[in-house]
Amino acid sequence: MTVLIDTDPGCDDAVALVLALERSELDVVGLTTVHGNAPVEETTENARSILEVLNRTDVPVAMGADRPLLVDLETAEHIHGEGGIRGELPPPGPETQPVDTHAAQFIIEQAREHEGKLTLAAIGPLTNVALALAIEPELPELLDELIVMGGAAFVPGNITPLAEANFHADPHAARRVVRDATPTIVGLDVTTSATLPPDRVESLPQDDPLGRSIDEWLTYYDDDRLERYGIESAAIHDALVIAGLVDDAVLETDPYPMTVGTDSELDRGALVCDANSVTGEPPNGTVAVGVDDERFRTVLAESLERALSRADVEATGFQSSR
């Protein structure tokens, strides 16, 4: 499967990238970066550093939107750490210098190059994808699939009572993508349980910088957040999207007519699914409504173990967290 990942690393994004880059089933043809867990300059640096950690400097990076379409920029360093990510990362070198193309245009170029075969996995705010749609309205027809981490269809939000973080960060972009791009939405309905239990986290090697970083990425929730959601370890939201691409039995999805709220603080970023067909509108995408947690954990643990077993930690130039 040919995959382009639009991302805002981010601890759970970092785990998702390790998963994607360690799977032979996935051919990752690029990373596009967006504002979100930190300003885009820092999410881009984080993405580049992760590529260097994994010795995947062959994967191009395109930097994208530095702010939402209409609302003010909000970031999440208070959750993910200074610079938007925890752990130890190497400073990125010239091999991962971003290409001289905006992420939105890069998405379009890759969709045209791999016409009908490209999966776009969007695991951050959807600003880049919305801009790409504005430039190329036929983008959905060029893609094999658009899969999105975002929204809370039938469960409470995690930023407001109704809204999940990525949709809340740029609600107008989310509304455009949901309305026009026929996405598969993987939201809090399934991602809150996308955890690696503490005993499995502790079983992973932590005697080198990559191992210690992965441990921090898997445990980035504080105790209050764990208690709030009734889980034992952090939800690795974005990794579930990638695991669903690796193993199509991980997620169960259903089609729905959908829209995203934008007009007030109450409904900003709220994903609204017409479960009772009261609007009479046809489905314009699918929503993940079920997850096989054990299959997810197996895919994730296997991928992390592969990364840790082959990491050449002496060659990656690790330094302390930025």
Point out the residues that are catalytic: 237
Q: Judge whether 70 and 107 are in contact, CB under 8 Å.
A: no
Tokens of 118: 């490209």
Whole-angstrom distance, CA of residue 103 vs CA of residue 132: 8
Is the link from the previous residue into 317 a cis peptide, with omega within 30 of 0?
no
Which candidate, 291, 279, 280, places its Cα nearest to that of 254? 291
Handedness of CA 252, 302, 298, 195 (dihedral sign): negative
Helix (H), strand (E) at residue 30: strand 27-33
Whole-angstrom distance, CA of residue 32 vs CA of residue 51: 13
* Strand ranges for 109-180 from DSSP E: 118-122, 145-149
